[in-house]
Structure 1
Amino acid sequence: MSRSVALFLLLLLSGCGLFPKELKDSKSWSASKYYSEAKTELNEGNYQAAIKLFEALEARYPYGRYAQQAQLEVAYAHYKDGEPATAIAAADRFIKLHPNHANVDYAYYLKGLANFNDDLGLMGIVSERILGQDMSERDPKASRESFENFKELVTRFPKSKYASDAVQRMKHLVNVVALNEVQVARYYMKRGGYVAAANRAQYALKEYPQTPATEEALFIMVKAYDALGITSLRDDADRVMRKNFPGSRFLSDSTGSDGEPWWRFW
């Protein structure tokens, strides 16, 4: 590579914020100077530049509060840069190295946030914000892991300033996972897998009671048992549904006169 091309690439990358500013003079920097420069990059949204500076800080000054805080900031920078797996790994590293740190509760919270937004990325954000994709339509693995992260935070640090938000997110995640179960049951119903649909809907009722998914889960059970000719179970599910959801949209719209299959309701 010619010197002119190398210089061009260096200027280009520096202009894009991929290389921390003034890094060539950083050998004389103190730990506080490294941290200040890294925070500036972080606050300006230059996450990769911030990460490089935080990592350089830890390498040059591996002990002390600045190095510890840098490890936590790296996890946050990766999270903001749309790298949930790397953010979680960095948070786990901080927890392992500093289990009694005053801010270790934030590391647990950050893990929950990273999993909470996992699978979004650029395309996920587009579908979530523009196309209106429901979280329940995505792989529930990250939602389950996020719930466990927040649960661990609330259990270990009930007085943490992040606990209240974590609890609210946990409530949302329970609804998301329950709706995912109903999504699967709905899938089986549309394809004539009535036994699988009934079992999945029943599982949602048992594992996630009193969630918004309950109404549709009961409806699927009614229709699945009806299709299977199991009238006793159908009537039991129908009775429970009518008692708990007397004005259900499913009940009012499931017997249309247009000749469409009942599942066209979805």
Structure 2
Amino acid sequence: MRAAKHILVLAFTALLAACSSNDVKVPENLTEAQLYQKASEQLENSNYSGAVDSLRALESRYPFGPFAEQAQLDLIFAYYKSMEPEAARASAERFIRLHPQNPNVDYAYYMRGLASNTADLGLVERYVPVDLSRRDPGQARQSFNQFSELLRRFPDSRYAPDARQRMIYLRNRLARYELHAADYYMKRKAYVAAINRGRYIVEHLQGTPSVEEALGIMVEGYQHLGLNQPADDALLVLQTNFPKSKLLDAEGNFIGHRVYSDVDPTILNTVTFGLFGDNTPKPQQAVEEEEEEQTGGPSVLNTMTFGWLGDDGEPVAPEPPTQQ
């Protein structure tokens, strides 16, 4: 059923791409107010590509008009909703550079981090579940740093609470990336490399769910290398901080860490680049997240229509604030 839904989404995506039309040229005789009114109506009607055209026309024709700065804020939002994160990020950085004292510049900082978080996602990947923690973490780190800059400069910003939550997610994602790399090395008996990855999680990504597994990797890696004292030290930390860990038996003895990548991919998983046919055992956290998705995630209608219909209340990018 899940695979069938994914195939349906892929087909619908291809259909939309095939049926897309060329951008309509913005009339030359519109005043600045008329252009902004037109862009506002397009944003309200979720015609984000049309809003991009209108806002760009407004900015180029009336660069110093009363609507110019507001149009630049709206353009960041329109680019993001049009699934053009690179353009959204560039527009945000431009607004920050040109208007550092604007009362709504915190919105630009926020949207820059949001755009960076999705810059490495393709159209299909936005609607078909994939494990982002297996991706190169460069964009995730950049997004984390940008949200961090927002909190440092504007700790009381209205976007600060959401930015903190996104930073927690990104930090957990970065830790899972290191964990996948450690598992890869464990499977290939590169124990020193695996231990180093596990140690990095423990030392630099404390508080993430991956710390427990990282300690298990360190214990097992040291044991394979015959380094009993470091193995005992790591085991003591595991026993102290995770006394009910599934890596320990009822008496607290180490029973081996759970390797994510110990099962070879199926043919279907290989030919679909990991989208379908995954038979890799999932950690408990992933199982719980999947169950939550099945009960409270986006509806099929919401997924097929890219959020236009069947909205279930998922968090979305906030609309740009209005200039006072």
With normalisation by structure 1, the TM-score equals 0.83
Per the alignment, residue 18 of structure 1 pairs with 23
Partner amino acid, structure 2, of 1:18: D
Per the alignment, residue 145 of structure 1 pairs with 142
Distance 1:106 1:164 in 2: 13
Matched, 1:113 2:118: no
Partner amino acid, structure 1, of 2:109: Y
Per the alignment, residue 48 of structure 2 pairs with 47
Distance 1:118 1:234 in 2: 40
Assess if the C-alpha contact under 8 Å between 1:194 and 1:227 holds in 2: yes
Matched, 1:77 2:74: no
Structure 1 portions without partners, runs of 5+: 1-14
Per the alignment, residue 236 of structure 2 pairs with 239
Alignment match of 1:183 (pick from 180, 186, 204) = 180
Assess if the C-alpha contact under 8 Å between 1:218 and 1:238 holds in 2: yes
How far did residue 142 of structure 1 move?
1.0
Partner amino acid, structure 2, of 1:44: N
How far did residue 121 of structure 1 move?
2.8
Per the alignment, residue 192 of structure 2 pairs with 195
How far did residue 252 of structure 1 move?
4.3
1:8-66 C-alpha deviation (Å, 9 max, x unpaired): xxxxxxx947215xx33x41x22121011012222323222211111111122111331
Q: Give runs of aligned pairs for residues 90-169 of structure 1, distance below 5 A.
A: 90-128=91-129, 133-169=130-166
- The structure with more radius of gyration: 1
Distance 1:17 1:102, change over 3 A: farther
Alignment match of 2:246 (pick from 242, 245, 249) = 249
Distance 1:126 1:62 in 2: 37
Q: Higher relative contact order by CA 8 Å / sep ≥ 6: 1 or 2?
A: 2
Distance 2:179 2:86 in 1: 28
Distance 2:183 2:59 in 1: 51
Per the alignment, residue 66 of structure 1 pairs with 67
Matched, 1:228 2:228: no
1:54-97 C-alpha deviation (Å, 9 max, x unpaired): 11111221113311111122221111111111111111111111
Partner amino acid, structure 1, of 2:232: D
1:181 partner SS? helix
Per the alignment, residue 216 of structure 1 pairs with 213
Alignment match of 1:171 (pick from 168, 172, 178) = 168
Assess if the C-alpha contact under 8 Å between 2:247 and 2:258 holds in 1: no
* Structure 1 range deviating more: 38-47 or 153-162: 38-47
What is the alpha-carbon root mean square deviation over aligned residues?
A: 2.2
Percent of matched pairs sharing the same residue = 45
Partner amino acid, structure 2, of 1:234: A
1:145 partner SS? helix
2:156 partner SS? coil
2:247 partner SS? helix
Partner amino acid, structure 2, of 1:111: R
Per the alignment, residue 5 of structure 2 pairs with none
1:183 partner SS? helix
2:67 partner SS? helix
Per the alignment, residue 4 of structure 1 pairs with none
With normalisation by structure 2, the TM-score equals 0.69
Distance 2:66 2:111 in 1: 19
Distance 2:174 2:201 in 1: 9
